[in-house]
């Protein structure tokens, strides 16, 4: 009855407004009920909870208005855990804590190019990848000054760590990891070297960086050598022939007491002491053209190490290295993905066109041909300029690879000053040996054979003959530190027909500059039964150390 009295008390003119008010109230009530039994969806809209699920909700809070307008609410903070509980792996050699100094995965690049950006780079390095080789005759010696270029900077490019980083990392780094990061930061700001009696600045890309890095290597570096592996493939160095570099390094590394350690937890690097030459001799069936047994053998060896020890898995092999001079060295790593991609490979066959050698991580190993292991320095030295009557010299197998047939076709027997042969004819070698030809020539031609590397480059350095390198896509030995334009000539394969013109245009003053630098360079390419400072053993080890520093992440 009261409701009747209220209805009769409302004037007729107000009834349309009152009807609208009732409709608004009804709609608002329905909306409130809807919102109460719904939750925000992941796309910013609203998802109605089925009635059957409502019993599981003890309380439903009214939604915040910002959710209904597609704004993102701040996430709830994760609970704090003690450091020892945050990142824990099962106790197994196959899954150790992943190191902050592991070689990082390529970062996601949002630039639209589809290429991954390297997370670390040293600006002194040349750009990675295959590019067309151009001939050059070195820097102008008139403008060489002290040979000290601008200080090298190490740069860390932006990257998306969350996209590629391993899900778990240790909360505390190992001491060797901290020492590597310390060394890297020290090399970023090296003391400027203006004069050093043991080093010649013009030979180096940055003498200050090299000297500081070398000092830190001597002070810090520790290498663990795996004892596993059957002889003669492992622990049996060959010290003679064109692949002697891998054998000499193995011998001197295993005898070393300064860098080699017995405690692997102290090590910054891990050496796999196998010989690619011995591997080929032991497992390759002649004329079978089947390298698979070699690849399977090494894959199984690495798998064995990764199960037996935690060290490989900790960095996915990034702190492990090999030294292989045989032409097949790069290919023996192909069956094991981490071995091929992450391990530091010191290779004579440093060809960037084949997708195995990675510039800035791997090391170009000098190919040294040793005739007398008891006297590795025999015949070192050359003649003065006035006693070098030949402009250029080459002798070797004419049918090895793509370059030599072109070289001989263009220049063999065409010019008296260009002594270009296949195998050196006996009637010529009886009066002047191969070595005497090199010592009597201004330039020694070093074309690639089946592979890009050639022992003639180091032979030319030994006999003080300026090397002329013809091998597109070849990364030159110790490229990370040496300035090859100060003591060599690089000729593009396409310019072989113009070879004499290029060499003849080099002035006598510039030639003397190049040859004098060769004499100063020799010490860095000599093997000694007992290694000496800055010799080839230490230069190889330094390049492995230097490129390891280039790969580590400072912020894990």
Q: What is the CATH number of the domain that holds 423?
A: 3.40.50.2000
Are residues 536 and 410 both part of a single domain? no
Identify the band that residue 158 occupies on the pLDDT scale cut at 50, 70 and 90. very low
Statement: residue 365 has pLDDT above 80: yes
Per-residue HEC secondary structure of 282-325 comes to HHCCCCCCCCHHHHHHHHHHHHHHHHHCCHHHHHCCCCEEEEEC
Are residues 12 and 44 both part of a single domain? yes
Are residues 317 and 464 both part of a single domain? no
Contacts of 339 (CB under 8 A, 6+ apart): 298, 299, 302, 317, 333
Are residues 269 and 359 both part of a single domain? yes
pLDDT in tens, 256-268: 999 999 999 999 9
Q: Which domain holds residue 332?
A: 120-127+152-189+221-372+532-551
pLDDT in tens, 456-484: 999 999 999 999 999 999 999 999 999 99
| Cross-strand partners of 419 | 393
Share of the chain above pLDDT 70, in %: 69
Contacts of 476 (CB under 8 A, 6+ apart): 350, 364, 457, 469, 482, 484, 488
User: Residue 146: inside a domain, yes or no?
Assistant: no
Please state the rounded mean pLDDT for residues 499-528.
Answer: 98
User: Residue 200: inside a domain, yes or no?
Assistant: no
Are residues 161 and 305 both part of a single domain? yes
Contacts of 551 (CB under 8 A, 6+ apart): 103, 104, 120, 318, 344, 361
Are residues 161 and 240 both part of a single domain? yes
Reading the block at residue 63, the tokens are 């939604």
User: Residue 196: inside a domain, yes or no?
Assistant: no
Statement: residue 61 has pLDDT above 70: no
Instruction: Report how many domains make up the chain.
Output: 3
Which comes out higher in pLDDT, residue 524 or 89?
Answer: 524
Are residues 168 and 262 both part of a single domain? yes
What is the reported pLDDT for 184? 97
Per-residue HEC secondary structure of 71-135 comes to CCCCCCCCCCCCHHHHCCCCCCCCCCCCCCCCCCCCECCCCCCCCCECCEEECCCCCCCCCCCCC
Identify the band that residue 546 occupies on the pLDDT scale cut at 50, 70 and 90. very high
- Which residue, 51, 68, 85, sits at the end of a domain? 68
Are residues 165 and 240 both part of a single domain? yes
Please state the rounded mean pLDDT for residues 269-295.
Answer: 97
User: Residue 227: inside a domain, yes or no?
Assistant: yes
User: Residue 216: inside a domain, yes or no?
Assistant: no
Alpha carbon distance 5, 303 (integer Å): 94
Are residues 353 and 320 both part of a single domain? yes
pTM: 0.73
Residue 222 DSSP class: -
Please state the rounded mean pLDDT for residues 229-251.
Answer: 98
Are residues 253 and 351 both part of a single domain? yes
User: Residue 487: inside a domain, yes or no?
Assistant: yes
Are residues 396 and 471 both part of a single domain? yes
Identify the band that residue 554 occupies on the pLDDT scale cut at 50, 70 and 90. low
Size of the chain in residues: 556
User: Residue 215: inside a domain, yes or no?
Assistant: no
Which comes out higher in pLDDT, residue 106 or 384?
Answer: 384
Are residues 536 and 393 both part of a single domain? no
In the predicted model, what is the mean pLDDT of the chain? Answer: 79
User: Residue 517: inside a domain, yes or no?
Assistant: yes
């Amino acid at each position: 009855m009261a409701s009747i009295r209220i209805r009769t008390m409302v004037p007729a003119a107000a009834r349309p407004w009152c009807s609208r008010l009732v409709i608004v109230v009804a709609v608002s009530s329905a909306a409130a009920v809807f919102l109460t039994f719904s939750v925000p969806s992941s796309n910013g809209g609203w998802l109605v909870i089925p009635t059957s699920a409502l019993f599981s909700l003890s309380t439903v809070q009214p939604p915040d208005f910002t959710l209904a307008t597609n704004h993102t609410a701040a996430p709830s903070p994760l609970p704090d855990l003690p450091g020892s509980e945050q990142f824990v792996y099962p106790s197994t050699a196959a899954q150790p804590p992943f190191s902050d100094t592991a070689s990082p995965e390529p970062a996601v690049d949002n630039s639209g190019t589809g290429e991954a950006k390297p997370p670390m780079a040293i600006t002194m390095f040349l750009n990675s990848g295959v590019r067309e080789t151009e001939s050059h005759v070195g820097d102008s010696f008139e403008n060489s000054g002290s040979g000290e270029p601008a200080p090298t900077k190490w740069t860390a490019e932006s990257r998306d760590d969350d996209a590629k980083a391993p899900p778990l990392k240790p909360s505390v780094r190992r001491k060797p990891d901290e020492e590597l990061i310390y060394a890297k930061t020290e090399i970023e700001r090296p003391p400027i070297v203006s004069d050093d009696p043991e080093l010649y600045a013009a030979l180096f890309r940055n003498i200050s960086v090299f000297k500081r890095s070398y000092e830190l290597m001597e002070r810090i570096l520790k290498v663990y050598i795996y004892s596993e592996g059957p002889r003669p493939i492992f622990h049996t160095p060959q010290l003679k022939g064109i692949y002697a570099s891998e054998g000499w390094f193995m011998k001197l590394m295993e005898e070393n007491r300064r860098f080699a350690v017995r405690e692997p937890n102290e090590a910054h690097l891990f050496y796999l002491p196998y010989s690619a030459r011995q591997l080929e001799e032991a497992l390759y069936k002649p004329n079978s053209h089947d390298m698979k047994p070699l690849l399977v053998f090494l894959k199984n060896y690495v798998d064995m190490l990764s199960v037996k020890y935690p060290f490989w898995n900790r960095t996915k092999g990034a702190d492990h290295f090999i030294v292989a001079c045989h032409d097949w060295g790069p290919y023996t790593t192909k069956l094991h993905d981490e071995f091929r991609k992450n391990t530091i490979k010191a290779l004579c066959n440093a060809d960037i066109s084949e997708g195995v050698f990675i510039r800035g991580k791997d090391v170009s190993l000098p190919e040294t041909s040793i005739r007398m292991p008891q006297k590795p320095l025999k015949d070192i030295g050359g003649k003065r300029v006035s006693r070098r009557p030949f402009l250029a010299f080459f002798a070797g197998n004419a049918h090895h690879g793509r370059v030599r047939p072109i070289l001989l076709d263009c220049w063999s027997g065409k010019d008296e000053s260009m002594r270009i042969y296949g195998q050196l004819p006996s009637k010529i070698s009886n009066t002047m040996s191969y070595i005497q030809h090199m010592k009597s020539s201004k330039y020694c031609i070093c074309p690639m054979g089946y592979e890009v590397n050639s022992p003639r480059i180091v032979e030319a350095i030994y006999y003080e003959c300026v090397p002329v390198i013809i091998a597109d896509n070849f990364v030159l030995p110790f490229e990370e530190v040496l300035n090859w334009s100060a003591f060599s000539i690089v000729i593009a394969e396409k310019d072989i027909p113009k070879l004499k013109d290029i060499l003849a245009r080099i002035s006598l003053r510039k030639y003397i500059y190049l040859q004098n630098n060769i004499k100063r360079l020799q010490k860095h390419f000599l093997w000694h039964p007992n290694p000496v400072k800055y010799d080839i053993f230490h230069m190889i080890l330094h390049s492995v150390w230097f490129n390891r520093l280039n790969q580590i992440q400072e912020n894990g």
